[in-house]
């Protein structure tokens, strides 16, 4: 289970202690504070703290750009303008701190986004729990034959059962040995910082992750994308829902311009213009590679 009854009691106690404040709050996000939103089999995402809201983005933009923003008549229009024209600093005025429990191999993908503050559970000082990510049967896939980074057809029947048995057996065997190595029952146990190296990357870790909204949007654009690995995408999907409740105007603009929009190269724009004039354009006379052409056709079809 993602959280224990004791942890749930701590969450309930924290939520029961309302504090008066003069700072701006986001009512949509207040309802999520401290709650654990389950992800995968043992993981979760929790909002620990946040700063700013849609109004903070607009306030910062009007200070930064002065009279140039007076033509924008309302906050929604201003936020869409900022998103449309790739202004970043106003979105950096909002920050969020999340408590995330996730498999180590997902954490190693996640940490590639180096524009956040991270503090991870230390297996040098503490003992990791016997909790491993074991994929559900509908997420046991073969290697893709067309994408070296992707998944292919679903494994079924005996083959799927064989893989699941291996994952469970290897995970538990490694943890058994981990416990044996750190045990001091009648002998000197191995240092925890060494014993941890025998654990598989599907074991769960935890961290606090604090990031500003601009860099969070960059994370979500990549990790909530349909092409992202499933195990990190489901975390991004949960965070998307939290952000939508936190800064609804900014998230709407993000969905429209980043998640739902496409970016064309100069050659791509030229091809579209030629097509609009009625010209028949092929990949051979477009000046584009086969891959570029295929992506362009997928975007406009």
- Under a CB-based contact definition with an 8 Å cutoff, are residues 90 and 82 in contact? yes
In order, the DSSP letters of 280-294 are: ---STTTT--HHHHH
Give the torsion sign (CA, 149, 153, 155, 159).
negative
Active-site annotation, residues: 223
- Strands (E) in 104-176, as ranges, are 117-120, 141-143, 151-154
Question: How many angstroms separate the CA atoms of 293 and 51, rounded?
Answer: 43
Question: How many angstroms separate the CA atoms of 43 and 150, rounded?
Answer: 23
Question: How many angstroms separate the CA atoms of 13 and 211, rounded?
Answer: 26
DSSP state, residue 201:
T
Q: How many CB atoms lie within 10 A of CB 207?
A: 17
**Phi, psi (deg, nearest 5) at residue 161:** -65, -40
- Under a CB-based contact definition with an 8 Å cutoff, are residues 53 and 94 in contact? yes
Q: How many CB atoms lie within 10 A of CB 169?
A: 10
């Amino acid at each position: 289970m993602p959280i224990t009854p004791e942890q749930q009691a701590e969450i309930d106690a924290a939520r029961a202690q309302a504090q008066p404040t003069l700072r701006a709050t986001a009512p949509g996000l207040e309802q999520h504070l401290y709650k654990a939103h389950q992800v995968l089999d043992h993981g979760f995402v929790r909002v620990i703290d946040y700063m700013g809201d849609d109004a903070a983005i607009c306030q910062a933009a009007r200070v930064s750009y002065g009279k140039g923003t007076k033509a924008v008549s309302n906050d929604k229009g201003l936020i869409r303008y900022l998103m449309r024209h790739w202004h970043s600093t106003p979105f950096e005025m909002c920050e969020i701190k999340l408590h995330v429990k996730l498999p180590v191999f997902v954490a190693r993908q996640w940490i590639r986004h180096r524009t956040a503050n991270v503090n991870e559970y230390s297996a040098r000082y503490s003992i990791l729990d016997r909790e491993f990510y074991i994929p559900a049967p509908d997420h046991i896939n073969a290697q893709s034959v067309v994408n070296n980074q992707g998944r292919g057809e679903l494994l079924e029947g005996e083959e799927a059962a064989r893989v699941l048995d291996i994952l469970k057996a290897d995970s538990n065997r490694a943890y058994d040995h981990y416990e044996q190595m750190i045990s001091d029952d009648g002998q000197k146990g191995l240092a925890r910082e060494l014993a941890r190296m025998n654990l598989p990357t599907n074991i769960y870790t935890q961290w606090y992750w604090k990031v500003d909204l601009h860099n969070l949007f960059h994370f979500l654009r990549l990790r909530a994308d349909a092409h992202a690995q499933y195990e990190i995408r489901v975390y991004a999907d949960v965070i998307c829902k939290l952000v939508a409740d936190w800064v609804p105007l900014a998230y709407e603009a993000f969905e429209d311009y980043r998640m739902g929009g496409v970016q064309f190269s100069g050659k791509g724009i030229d091809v579209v213009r030629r097509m609009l004039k009625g010209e028949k354009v092929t990949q051979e006379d477009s000046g584009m590679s086969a891959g570029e052409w295929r992506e362009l056709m997928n975007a406009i079809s």
